[in-house]
């Protein structure tokens, strides 16, 4: 990260900053025209234990409205510039699938590119990341936010996701991208049962020889399984995050850093005894 090493032990917490009016979790929505509120939210995320701030201006929930590139840039670039100035020691991640947005965000002060499409929605993304030489979060997804829920046919979900990720990791390595973080894509082109299978199999993902990021925070699989709402899904989120931590996941992407930090502290205590 611009000459600094991003440590992964103990695991890191990535705090979510949604600069969009239609994120699935209403309490996480922020308006671009209120930079004071955004700075305050970022400060709170950091105070509660976030190590990384993840800024996104395009909701990728199923059925989310499309956002044109100009609007996405208008949402995220002022925010990234603000955060880079206000919190210069904090790594900032740009949550985008567009190469041009990623490039502009890094120029504005972002350090990490978090691509929910894993390079499938913009053929220029891999080249852009190779040129930028920043860590790249390669998430597994099929289709688009509008179509992904129809693309859940797998021979065996973990094996197929691993194969698709492995092929992309090879391409990225060939292009000179050395810092790849993998995200199995919980909730993206997977049924609830498939999402649970991925969590059960998380240890297998270490064979990809990349750090693992998991984003389960308040997602619909938890909501539907527990018969609750996103607003009341923190406990379910913490349960899955704890299982992920015990499987060796290195980064948790969350709305609630305090709960994630507590899960990390407690699981690290248990893991030390097991060793």
Catalytic residue among 41, 75, 142, 219: 219
Residue tagged active-site, from 75, 218, 253, 261: 253
Residue 39 designated active-site: no
Beta strand 112-115 pairing with 136-139: parallel
* Domain positions in the chain: 12-274
Question: E-strand spans in 57-195?
Answer: 92-95, 112-115, 136-139, 180-183
b/e map of 250-259 (b: 16 or more CB within 10 Å)?
bbbbbbbbbb
Taking only the tens of pLDDT, the chain with its 275 residues reads 554 556 778 999 999 998 876 554 445 456 666 788 899 999 999 999 999 999 999 877 666 667 899 999 999 999 999 999 999 999 999 999 999 999 999 999 999 999 999 999 999 999 999 999 999 999 999 988 888 989 999 999 999 999 999 999 999 999 999 999 999 999 999 999 999 999 999 999 999 999 999 999 999 999 999 999 999 999 999 999 999 999 999 999 999 999 999 999 999 999 999 76
Tell me the whole-structure pTM to 2 decimals.
0.93
Cα-based angle 8, 13, 15 (whole degrees, multiple of 5): 140
12-274 domain in CATH 3.20.20.20?
A: yes
Assess whether 219 carries a catalytic annotation.
yes
Distances (CA, A) of 188 to 79, 179, 191: 26, 23, 8
Q: At what angle do helices 99-108 and 125-132 cross, to 10 degrees?
A: 20
């Amino acid at each position: 990260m611009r000459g600094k090493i991003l440590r992964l032990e103990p695991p890191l917490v990535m705090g979510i900053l949604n600069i969009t009016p239609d994120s699935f979790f209403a309490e996480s929505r922020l308006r671009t025209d209120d930079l004071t509120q955004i700075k305050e939210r970022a400060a709170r995320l950091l105070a509660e234990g976030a190590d990384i701030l993840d800024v996104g201006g395009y909701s990728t929930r199923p059925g989310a409205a499309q956002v044109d590139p100009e609007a996405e840039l208008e949402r995220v670039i002022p925010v990234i510039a603000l955060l880079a100035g206000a919190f210069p020691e904090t790594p900032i991640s740009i949550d985008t699938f567009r190469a041009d947005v990623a490039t502009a965000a890094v120029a504005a002060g972002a350090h990490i590119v978090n691509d929910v499409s894993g390079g499938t929605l913009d053929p220029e993304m891999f080249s852009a990341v190779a040129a930028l030489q920043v860590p790249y979060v390669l998430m597994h997804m099929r289709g688009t936010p509008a179509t992904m829920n129809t693309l859940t046919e797998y021979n065996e979900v973990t094996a197929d996701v691993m194969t698709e990720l492995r092929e992309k990791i090879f391409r990225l390595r060939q292009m000179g991208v050395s810092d790849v973080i993998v995200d199995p894509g919980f909730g993206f082109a997977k049924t609830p049962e498939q999402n649970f299978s991925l969590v059960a199999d998380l240890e297998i993902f270490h064979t990809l020889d990349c750090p693992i990021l998991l984003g389960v925070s308040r997602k619909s699989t938890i909501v539907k399984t527990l018969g609750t709402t996103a607003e009341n899904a923190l406990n379910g989120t913490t349960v899955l995050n704890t299982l992920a931590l015990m499987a060796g996941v290195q980064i948790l992407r969350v709305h609630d850093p305090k709960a994630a930090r507590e899960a990390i502290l407690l699981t690290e205590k248990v893991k030390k005894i097991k060793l």
